[in-house]
Structure 1
Amino acid sequence: MQKFISLILVSLALACGSTKMVQTSDVIPSPPPAPSGPDGLKADTEKIASIGFTDAKTIGEHMNYLASDELKGRDTGSEGIEMAAAYIEKLFENNGVEPYYESYHDTLSNYKKPAYNVVGFVGGNDAQLKDEYILIGAHYDHIGVVKPENGDYIANGANDNASGTSTVLELARYFGTNKSNKRSLIFALFSAEEKGLYGSKHLAKKLHEADLNLYTMLNFEMTGVPLRVKDHFLYITGYGKSNLAEICNNYANEKLIGRSLIAKQYNLFQRSDNYPFYKEFGVPSHTYCAFDFTNFDYYHKPGDEVSEMDFEHMAKVVNKMIPVLEGIANAPNQEIKMN
């Protein structure tokens, strides 16, 4: 999440992460295959709820690569983020997610170093609704190598934001495999979020200038550990700006989404990649998040390691969101409205 920790004081003990700077490898691992289930993987809400599309093992394989020391914190313009991008592209290619542009690369026009978003596309299967677009996003960059703490100098960015990236990768794999969406879906992994939302600013402006018919932008940020003592599973930033929470909870058949007073207090709505799309298009644009400063101690610290993540929780995020996104993508009318 774009750097705003200076707004609050956090006095908490930091865990020691791994300290060895390893050599990068030219071999990009293959993304994990789909977990198996009875009768295959269909676009069926009850089946998703009962067997789950993804699981902790699959999530863990994404996370163990994206937040590894080998990628050295995925700083924008670094070799590590190039490796992360190659991993994302390979998963898209292997699971029926086409490049939105001529390639998956969307080169940033507003950043000084060579950098790019990775943008995929799953076209809608309805003759009319396919001209309406839903953008599902997360940033895949982090802050790279930092001042050492307890001898560890790699800010691995497991929660921020390999977790959101892994969520989007699994959602893309589901829809790329099943093609169960009537509206068209754009899957965007943003670079340079940590530098000032440059990746999402670039893409929002570019799509707006191309007159994209954007219905809603749904972003995922820091979903790696569960909220504590809450009556909801995730919160959305900008809760009162639209009826998205109500729509999500109706499709989930539970209180999946709630509000966060912390998010409102620190104006998190404007601090992640949803905001440029809200500014450019004026459509409902929100971030799903499970980080509220009380449940994770290592924001922008070397201690943001895979070992701190809850893969079971992350798998639930994906499995609970699939019927929600499928409902939003397939509803006969645009149900999400600005307040």
Structure 2
Amino acid sequence: MKHAFVFLALLFLTACGSLKKTQSGNTPAGPDGLKGNLGSTIVDSTSVLEIMNFLASDDLKGRDSGSEGIEKAAEFIEGIFVQNRLMPYFETFKDTIANFQKPAYNIVGVLKGTDKKLQNEYIIIGAHYDHIGILTAENGDTIANGANDNASGTTTVLELARHFGASKSNKRSLIFALFSAEEKGLLGSNHLAKKLKEENLNLYLMLNFEMIGVPMVDKDYMIYVTGYDKSNLAEETNKYANKNLVGFLPKAKEFGLFQRSDNYPFHNEFNIPSQTYCTFDFTNFNFYHKVGDELDQMDFKHMARVINDMIPVLEGLSNSPEKEIKYY
């Protein structure tokens, strides 16, 4: 009953209080100093906290794939998809992955594009929602809550789904995909990439979000993309954001991050631009795969700014007459 009450309460809050829509003129600054254009939807840190507070709670026991905790997370994600009028991409939102020994699910929703021609082209907006579960006790704590890894990316996808569900401002069709079993070797994204390739999906882009819960240190940009030099995604992102939003992080290339997140299976299957946005810079977060990856380490205003800056980017990419992002 406690879980059901929290679930319903969060849905009520997200429905009623977390998005601010303009009526006329420019959007005034919100509680986080965020501004938007006429008609834009502004995400504030309260909205982000509401989702993060559920996904990174002790009740979910670290969201290990195949566990009761991640099942609760899956139900929560489904509820937000339903609330924001996404449709299941398959028969249901839950798509059982075929390459893991326990029952585990990707959650896959779709918003059909508004343009009769462009709606046959798809952009995937994704993140993994699993983490590593229970660890050896450290200072009496055994739960690897996975706030930054990757409740932060999951929250970003859910807030973007909420925006587009309300605005219907996408000419191309958008698939919102939350992956299970990333921590087991990208199993959920491998499953979905192969499945969509078999049905010959006309996939334009795969844009993934990973560990965006903490701002980078001493950078003149807010986010980096993995595989920076493989495509013009960074350049086009900055064009639509109208700022120096994305930059190059040398350590991302040094450590091969392009191959280590859920973008990579789509790169392998489709050979289309498939890249991950991230703000983990190897100096700003000390709790990777540790029990200390908790809510109190997150910067919710930073997360809200990232999401709001990404909205015009995704609108631009989904509405451009031609496919602008290309591998070199």
How far has the Cα of 1:97 moved from its partner?
A: 1.0
Q: Name structure 1 gaps, 5 residues minimum.
A: 1-22
- Report the number of matched residues: 315
Match of 1:142 in 2: 131
1:48 to 2:36 alignment = yes
Question: Where does 1:110-259 land on structure 2 (aligned, <5 Å)?
Answer: 110-259=99-248
Retained in 2: the 8 A contact 1:49–1:319? Answer: no
- The CA distance in 1 between the partners of 2:136 and 2:186, in whole Å, is 23
Alpha-carbon distance in 1 for matches of 2:223, 2:172? 24
Structure 1 distance, partners of 2:218, 2:43, is 25
Q: How does 1:256-295 map to 2 (within 5 A)?
A: 256-295=245-284
Q: Distance in 2 between matches of 1:40 and 1:144?
A: 47
Q: 1:75-100 deviations in whole A, cap 9, x for unaligned?
A: 00011101011111000101111111
Out of 69, 85, 94, the position equivalent to 1:96 is 85
SS of equivalent residue, structure 1 residue 53: strand
Q: Which amino acid aligns with 2:320?
A: A
In structure 2, do the counterparts of structure 1 residues 47 and 131 end up closer, same or farther at CA, with 3 Å as the change threshold? farther
1 CA distance for matches of 2:245 and 2:25? Answer: 23
The one-letter code of the counterpart of 1:132 is E
Q: Which amino acid aligns with 2:261?
A: S
* Consecutive unaligned residues in structure 2, runs of 5 or more: 27-33
CA distance in 2, matches of 1:110, 1:153: 27
One-letter code aligned to 2:81: F
C-alpha displacement at 1:324, in angstroms?
0.3
Letter in 2 for 1:165: T
Q: Are 1:25 and 2:14 an aligned pair?
A: no
What's the RMSD between the two structures over aligned residues? 1.9
Aligned-partner residue type, residue 319 of structure 1: N
Structure 1 residues 289 and 301 mapped into 2: Cα distance closer, same or farther (>3 Å)? same
Displacement of 1:298: 0.3
Alignment partner, residue 12 of structure 1: none
Give 1:59 deviation, angstroms: 0.2
1:38 Cα deviation after fit: 3.2
Contact 2:64 2:130 in 1 (8 A): yes
1:327 aligns with 2:316: yes
Amino acid at match of 1:274: N
List per-residue Cα deviations over 1:23-58 (Å, max 9, x = no partner).
Answer: 98355334312423431899xxx9735886110000
TM-score normalised per structure 2: 0.92
In structure 2, C-alpha distance between the alignment counterparts of 1:39 and 1:140, rounded to whole Å: 34
Deviations 1:259-284 (A, max 9, x none): 11110000000000000000000000
State the shift of 1:150 in Å: 1.3
Distance 1:40 1:94 in 2: 26
Q: 2:291 aligns with which of 291, 297, 302?
A: 302
TM-score under structure 1 length normalisation: 0.90
In structure 1, give the amino acid aligned to 2:227. Answer: G
| Residue of structure 2 in register with 1:87 after alignment | 76
State the 1:164 CA deviation: 0.2
Counterpart-to-counterpart distance in 1, 2:260 and 2:25: 36
Which residue does 1:78 correspond to in 2?
67
CA distance, structure 2, for counterparts of residue 169 and residue 37 of structure 1 = 17
Amino acid at match of 1:48: G
Asked if the contact 1:49–1:320 (Cα under 8 Å) also holds between the matched residues in 2, the reply is no
Cα deviations across residues 203-231 of structure 1 (Å, max 9, x unaligned)?
Answer: 00000000000001000000000001001
Tell me which of the two structures has the higher relative contact order, counting C-alpha pairs closer than 8 angstroms and 6 or more residues apart: 1
2:29 corresponds to which residue?
none
Letter in 2 for 1:296: F
Identity %: 60
